[in-house]
Amino acid sequence: MQPHATKITELYASLTRGEDLAALGEILVEGWVRTNRDSGSIGFISLNDGTCFKCVQVVYDDKLANHDVVAHLLTGAAIGVKGHIVLTPEMKQPFELRANEIVVIGEVEGDYPLQKKRHSFEYLREIAYLRPRTNTFAALYRVRSVLALGIHEFFQSRGFVYVHTPEITGNDAEGAGQTFTITTLDDKGKPSETDFYGRKASLTVSGQLHVEPFALAFHDVYTFGPTFRAEKSNTTRHASEFWMIEPEIAFADLEDDMVLMEECIKFCISYVLEKCPDEMDFFEKMIAPGLMDKLHAVLDRPFTKMEYTEGIEILKKAVQNGVKFENKKIEWGMDLQSEHERYLTEEVAKGPLFLINYPKDIKAFYMKENDDGKTVAACDLLVPGEGEIIGGSEREARYDVLRAKMEKQGNVEGLEWYLNLRKWGGCPHSGFGIGFDRLLMYLTGVANIRDTEPYPRTFGGLKY
Ligand code: 4AD
Ligand code: MG
């Protein structure tokens, strides 16, 4: 058995607790070489073991038995270092590890695609399996992990019940025809009655329809899992597999829904700032200067609310005043493109913006129709740099109204159970969906969804 290695995160944690690292005696640290520079009598290795964002500086000299090998270690090599901690408060790093012995555990061959220099996001996307070893992606995927726990903490601390809604489903929850069919039939001509489930099956586009019944039993619930959409959108914000958080609350209208959205986003910001200070600092310095100010500003003030109708008026005026949109024709009833959303959130609200009460014809069937007969009690949360990161609504709780709408769209079959909820103890209820990957983009300033997902799946893109 190997002697117990000390994790770099433990070293920094003891330092923070004010413990004397020099008194640890000889320790073993195992990790990967980030950089190595040797100047003959003395050499320095920046060693990262993945347990925290920070590296430890290893200092070695020519007395090492294998000095020649160590001096030529390349970026990426796996090594074990036995040595003593020396405190260096006057230097950039608070301590260093003076090596007595360095064992090479895994060498790196010369064709290793990661080098000391900065690589582009595009290049790193091609080697997705290696990019967690870079600073940017180490920071990003740790924040992703921490944020996932933050989401659970937010909802669980408020008494929400976590529901595992299925990934395989018989319905298209959004009614937008963007489902991936799953089948065991290799001959596509065969009727789906002969398939695995005896009916057409697909990957879920949203857990909402399955989570609503739980809200009508537990009051406050959420689902959080992978979601799949066959959207042929080749943008920086669309993935065909992404994670979605979908809370659903009973006895609640759109206003209650928006309160929860705002609290949730603010909680997530505070959470990552508190739990991942090194990573967030890195994003500020290397990826998105101004990120910290932006996030603190979001925490400090209430989100803006705007009616869809008012948004359209503002966009029309903007066009009259010479603002150039690719989609120039602005009219009531249109679905907003991301350029329009961004104009409203960046130029008008200058921060997160709730756009509410959309035309019913461009929104999903389950949304509550407003008294004007034209709009639904829907709400998108738009943020600068991205556009929509949340979509939500109050649900249509009236049986007759919902049934008529579903009949018109021809999707009653298979969803009778969903309609029954309106007959048996129905109540006003609301919910929303946060795109987890888009939220991560917002919190880190990373501009492409392909970078926030460990192995992105996008239109025409399936590698690894
Ligand atoms: O607005 P959407 O389609 O809403 C729903 O699915 C509702 N059922 C949610 C609910 O009320 N329970 O999607 C919600 C969010 C979007 O705002 C966006 O952040 C994200 O999911 N999203 C995507 N993220 C990445 N790639 C895609 N292709 C996405 N499509 C939606
Ligand atoms: Mg939406």
Residue 380 Cα: closest atom of ligand 1: 17
| pLDDT on residue 40 | 86
Report the helix count and the strand count for the chain, using DSSP H and E: 14, 18
> Do 323 and 343 touch, CB atoms closer than 8 A?
yes
All residues at 6 or more sequence positions from 293 whose CB lies less than 8 Å from its CB, including other chains: none
Ligand 1 centroid – CA 416 distance (Å): 24
Nearest residue (by CA) to ligand 1, atom 30, is 238
Model pLDDT, residue 2: 61
| DSSP, residue by residue, 205-265 | S-SHHHHHHHHHHHSEEEEEEEEE------SSS--SEEEEEEEEEES--HHHHHHHHHHHH
Q: Which residue shows structure tokens 């064992």? A: 103
Dump the DSSP string for 171-192. Answer: S-TT-SS-PPEE-S-SSTTS-G
pLDDT single digits (tens) 354-364? 999 999 999 99
Pocket test for ligand 1, best of 151, 438, 446 (most atoms within 8 A of CB): 438
CA angle 274, 280, 284 (to 5 degrees): 140
Q: Report the alpha-carbon distance of residue 134 to residue 365 in Å, rounded.
A: 44
Could you give the CA distance from residue 50 to residue 106 in angstroms, rounded to a whole number?
16
- Report the pLDDT value the prediction gives residue 328, as an integer from 0 to 100: 84
The ligand 1 site (C-beta within 6 Å) comprises 173-174, 206, 208, 229, 231, 238-239, 242, 244, 246, 388-393, 431-433, 435, 437-438, 449
Tell me the β-bridge partners of 27.
83
- Which atom of ligand 1 lies closest to the CA of 433? 9
For residue 56, how far is its CA from the centre of ligand 1 (angstroms)? 41
Question: How many Cβ atoms from other residues are within 10 Å of residue 229's Cβ?
Answer: 22
Counting as low any pLDDT under 70, the low residues of the chain are: 1-3
Measured in Å, residue 233 CA sits from the centre of ligand 2 at 14
- The predicted pLDDT at position 173 comes to 82
- Is residue 15 classed exposed, middle or buried when 0-12, 13-18 and 19+ CB atoms within 10 A define those classes? middle
| Residue (of 108, 105, 133, 117) closest to 48 by Cα position | 133
Q: Which residue has the tokens 């069919």?
A: 181
- Pick from 10, 189, 3: nearest CA to 101: 3
Nearest to 29 by CA among 4, 65, 60, 63: 4
Ligand 1 atom with least separation from CA of 231? 28
Atom of ligand 1 nearest to the CA of 381: 17
* Nearest Cα residue to atom 18 of ligand 1: 435
Q: Find tokens 């990790």 and name the residue.
A: 31
Query: Distance between the two ends of the chain, CA-based, in angstroms?
Result: 34
How far, in Å, is the centroid of ligand 1 from the Cα of 359?
18
Q: Whose CA is nearest to atom 22 of ligand 1?
A: 435
- Tell me which amino acid residue 9 is: T
CA of 379 to the centre of ligand 1 (A): 12
Q: Which residue has the tokens 């090998």?
A: 69
Q: How many beta carbons lie within 10 A of that of residue 373, not counting itself?
A: 7
User: What spacing in Å lies between the alpha carbon of 390 and ligand 2's midpoint?
Assistant: 7
Nearest bound ligand to the CA of residue 438:
1
Q: Taking the complete model, does pTM exceed 0.85, yes or no?
A: yes
